[in-house]
Amino acid sequence: MVKKTLINAIPHKGLRERLLDRIDPDVSVVPVVRLTGVIASSGPLRDGLNLSGVAGDLDAAFKTRDAKAVALVINSPGGSPVQSSLIFKRIRALAEEHELPVLAFVEDVAASGGYMIACAADEIFADEHSVVGSIGVVSAGFGFSKLIEKLGVERRVHTAGESKAMLDPFKPEDPEEVERLEALQ
């Protein structure tokens, strides 16, 4: 939802003072777009933060008459890298088209894709206790190769491709597979 608000309505006192140097609160309008929740494509049984759900709000914010900037209030742990990228690109395209600065305000968390979206802003403001950062992937697992050998279990895997069984926890770790995974992160 887009809210037209004066910069004085920003709840963080320190942020308000920093912005007052650039924006006159008596005459400036700063539309606010809230970007909250897990980033995911939506469907009939699920709801997520995605481009189709926020495009209208972003368009309206950037088209606001007399706007001096657009504020994004972000509270997202991340999610879909594709939707994160689409939202990021849309924000940057609108900022360039309308020649408006974008300010991101992190509430509790802007991690992974949430941080990627925050990076679409010209400046990011966050509380010292906000969780901010970590674009990438964490892959964790267990290795059971010695256990199944000790138990006398034979594992049979048939695949249609070379990397289909990559990172199989029942075989010894392969440095080439780890290198490939790290290249993806």
The one-digit pLDDT tens for each residue of the chain (185 residues) are 444 444 444 555 556 566 656 666 566 789 999 999 999 987 666 678 999 999 999 999 999 999 999 999 999 999 999 999 999 999 999 999 999 999 999 999 999 999 999 999 999 999 988 989 876 656 667 788 888 889 988 878 777 777 777 777 778 888 888 887 777 65
Predicted confidence at residue 36, as pLDDT, reads 95
Predicted confidence at residue 6, as pLDDT, reads 43
Predicted confidence at residue 9, as pLDDT, reads 47
Predicted confidence at residue 7, as pLDDT, reads 45
Predicted confidence at residue 22, as pLDDT, reads 63
What's the one-letter identity of residue 85?
Answer: S
Identify the CA nearest to 68 among candidates 108, 26, 107: 26
Phi/psi for 58 (5° steps) reads -65, -45
- Name the residue ranges covered by the structural domains of the chain: 2-133, 145-184
Phi/psi for 147 (5° steps) reads -65, -45
Architecture in CATH for domain 2-133: Alpha-Beta Complex (3.90)
Predicted confidence at residue 168, as pLDDT, reads 79
How many whole angstroms separate alpha carbon 7 and alpha carbon 71? Answer: 9
Predicted confidence at residue 103, as pLDDT, reads 97
Active site residues: 112, 164
